[in-house]
Amino acid sequence: MLDVNFLRHQPDGFDAALAKRGMPPQARHLLDLDARLRAAVLKVDTMQADRKTGPVDRDALRDARHAEQEARTAWTEAWARVPNAPLDTVPVGPDETGNVPLFHWAPKMDANATAHVEAGTVHDPKRHHEVAGVAALFDSATGEKLSGPRHTVLHGAVARLHRALGQWMLNLHVDTHGLTEAWVPVLAKGDALRGTGHLPKFEDDAYRVQGQDMWLVPTAEVPLTYMAAQRIHDAADLPVRLVAHTGCFRAEAGAGGRDTSGILRRHQFEKVEMVTWCTPEQAEEEHARMVRQACAVLEGLELRHRAVALCTGDMGFAAQHTIDLEVWMPGERAYREISSISRCGDFQARRMAARYRPQPGAKPAFLHTLNGSGVAVGRALAALVENHQRQDGSVHIPKALQPYCGGHNAIGPDGAWV
């Protein structure tokens, strides 16, 4: 959440920040709720203090406490739905049309925008689930029989390639980038989702355990970030850089009919997630570091990609600055988002009471948090198949992955390892 003093002392600036996100003014309404709560708290405190000097009407005190609770609930629910304020450097725009390209990377062997390896040999690139050698290994029919729409079973070489991608990414981040590996639950308490800003905003897109305030995580960002909650950390221990490979679960409530074929938008998928807790002074460099680390994954897989700065209208709820990495998908003739790296400032830390002590004896301050995909495993698999397909329907395996695939360098036209 934002610092409430921003609302109280700069209401015009508060509304201006929301306007950049395409939202109507809210300062007046929120200030009214804030004043109502403070008045209710003062009334209860005064009545309780009066009890020390004489009798107090119990019914009146009960009513005052009830009014305080109602005021607190109204304030808490409204304030929890206020998004983070964008940094001044974030481009202003209504949606993805306002995003700003930053840089582009392509493998040296790339000669055109249709294929990366053996450029020029694929004249009509297919979508990943249509490439002849692996099409039968993407089994949406069985996935739907087992679990319903937007579920897929992977078979044989494609299943191993998917596993290899996650293992290789994790090892790259731990062994080369120096991140600390964590294995975390994929069931999280509601407090963890609320603390990281996923509730109540994205409740319709989350899976809840019936009758409990327990949820399947939409991303490992939730447990990795909430590990910092309700603690005071030593500045000397910061930054903390974590990485985890987990299953992720999203209802895709707003997806409509998009991406129903293939594996780009599934209800269950895997992601290697990076999270950093740090001081405010460290946040900018940590953001740049995380972008470089995600780029290293795509470069290692020899995948053409670009970076874009998200504008205010396309940025996530908890973010104050986001850079997306988009990978080229030859079968679609389009770039698709594969990693989103966000600075959240102290927005999440305020919601989950995560603080640090700048120096011994100093007053605690709120941490800054960052998160980023490092990267989405299923989308990397789809991009790899599309970019490394050959005219005969076989798929080349990048050198970095070959040790994870039994030393094989391709999946043949018949779906078998080569």
Distance CA(180)–CA(103), nearest Å, equals: 28
With respect to residue 134, please indicate whether it lies within any of the assigned structural domains. Answer: yes
With respect to residue 337, please indicate whether it lies within any of the assigned structural domains. Answer: yes
- Residues listed for the chain: 418
Instruction: Decide: 256 and 388 in contact? Cβ < 8 Å.
Output: no
Strands 305-309 and 100-105: antiparallel
Please name every residue paired with 325 in a beta bridge, in sequence order, or none if there are none.
307, 339
Task: Count up the domains in the chain and report the number.
Answer: 2
Task: Identify the DSSP state of 417.
Answer: B
pLDDT 10s digits, 80-137: 999 999 999 999 999 999 999 999 999 976 444 344 444 445 678 999 999 999 999 9
The tokens describing 352, both together, are: 């989950």
Do 69 and 145 reside in the same domain of the chain?
no
Domain end, chosen from 79, 114, 140, is at 79
Do 72 and 103 reside in the same domain of the chain?
no
The tokens describing 225, both together, are: 């970030």
With respect to residue 84, please indicate whether it lies within any of the assigned structural domains. Answer: no
Question: CA distances (Å), 74 to each of 13, 34, 37, 61, 317, in order?
Answer: 23, 9, 9, 20, 20
With respect to residue 90, please indicate whether it lies within any of the assigned structural domains. Answer: no
Q: What is the pLDDT of residue 257?
A: 66
Do 12 and 133 reside in the same domain of the chain?
no
With respect to residue 272, please indicate whether it lies within any of the assigned structural domains. Answer: yes
Do 263 and 317 reside in the same domain of the chain?
yes
Do 251 and 362 reside in the same domain of the chain?
yes
Tokens 């460290």 -> residue: 282
Do 295 and 401 reside in the same domain of the chain?
yes
Do 311 and 400 reside in the same domain of the chain?
yes
Q: What is the pLDDT of residue 114?
A: 44
Do 388 and 243 reside in the same domain of the chain?
yes
Do 36 and 113 reside in the same domain of the chain?
no
Distance CA(82)–CA(297), nearest Å, equals: 34
Q: What is the pLDDT of residue 113?
A: 38
Q: What is the pLDDT of residue 347?
A: 98
Q: What is the pLDDT of residue 390?
A: 95
Q: What is the pLDDT of residue 121?
A: 54
Tokens 């930054």 -> residue: 239
Please name every residue paired with 136 in a beta bridge, in sequence order, or none if there are none.
none
Q: What is the pLDDT of residue 255?
A: 63
With respect to residue 88, please indicate whether it lies within any of the assigned structural domains. Answer: no
With respect to residue 417, please indicate whether it lies within any of the assigned structural domains. Answer: no
Instruction: Decide: 168 and 381 in contact? Cβ < 8 Å.
Output: no
Domain end, chosen from 20, 49, 79, is at 79
DSSP E strand stretches across 16-155: 100-105, 138-139, 153-154
Domain end, chosen from 44, 79, 114, is at 79
Range of the domain at 27: 4-79
Please name every residue paired with 309 in a beta bridge, in sequence order, or none if there are none.
100, 323
Do 293 and 335 reside in the same domain of the chain?
yes
With respect to residue 91, please indicate whether it lies within any of the assigned structural domains. Answer: no
Do 22 and 159 reside in the same domain of the chain?
no
Instruction: Decide: 372 and 349 in contact? Cβ < 8 Å.
Output: no
Q: What is the mean pLDDT, run by run of 10 residues, along the chain of 418 residues? A: 96 97 97 98 93 86 96 97 97 96 85 44 86 96 96 98 98 98 98 97 95 97 98 97 98 72 93 98 98 98 97 97 97 96 98 96 97 97 97 96 97 96
Q: What is the pLDDT of residue 123?
A: 76
Q: What is the pLDDT of residue 254?
A: 65
Q: Using alpha carbons only, how large is the chain's radius of gyration in Å?
A: 25
What is residue 216's three-state secondary structure?
Answer: strand
Q: What is the pLDDT of residue 109?
A: 62
Do 180 and 293 reside in the same domain of the chain?
yes
